Amino acid sequence: MSTNESKRRITIERTYKAALKDVWELWTTKEGIESWWGPEGFSTKVHKLDLRAGGELRYAMTATGPDQVEFMKSAGMALTNECRISYTEVVARKRLAYTHLADFIPGVKPYDVATLVEFHLIGKTVRMVLIFDAMHDKEWTQRAVMGHESQLGKLEKVIGNLGG
């Protein structure tokens, strides 16, 4: 196992044709999070949401797609993982910062992954900037990037259905 790709950060940007209020609510409400959070082939159920610095988001993410179920089984991972995010900064409609406990990787000691999400209103669009820590090795970092790309695709579909 290599070290945490030592403090390397990854940035993903998206621009959505939507109201800032709507994008923010998708990131910060139980219903919003459950509508898109997690890569394709996974569903999310929020158990606790305390949206403030020092607050937590607790949720269960379950593999539901056949390919995802097969991957989880072959990797020796549970189909449902209980997840915890600890918010470190919440600035309404501007910024969310949190750490996500990566405690689901077989054979790897749990560690925190820091994430920052910024929301910028530009005309009738919202530019969202997602910055997160690299994982403990290149393979898991690539999986994290693919997971974020997939879930942001789900977010884009939900926003499209709002009629933004």
Provide the sign of the torsion angle of the four alpha carbons 108, 49, 30, 52, taken in this order: negative
Q: What are phi and psi of 35, to 5 degrees?
A: -75, -15
Q: What is the pLDDT of residue 3?
A: 45
Q: What is the pLDDT of residue 106?
A: 85
CATH number of the domain encompassing residue 32: 3.30.530.20
The tokens 């910062």 sit on which residue? 97
Distances from the Cα of 19 to the Cα of 30, 33, 56, 88, angstroms: 19, 17, 25, 25
pTM, entire model: 0.89
Provide the sign of the torsion angle of the four alpha carbons 64, 86, 21, 116, taken in this order: negative
Q: What are phi and psi of 103, to 5 degrees?
A: -120, 20
Q: Would you say residue 68 has pLDDT above 60?
A: yes
Residue 44's DSSP bridge partners are 61
Which has more pLDDT, 164 or 16? 16
Domain count, the chain: 1
Distances from the Cα of 80 to the Cα of 37, 73, 77, 85, 115, angstroms: 14, 11, 9, 16, 22
Please provide the average confidence, as pLDDT, over all residues in the chain. Answer: 93
Residues spanned by the domain of 87 = 5-162
How remote is the C-alpha of 25 from its chain's centroid? 14
CA distance 66 to 72: 10
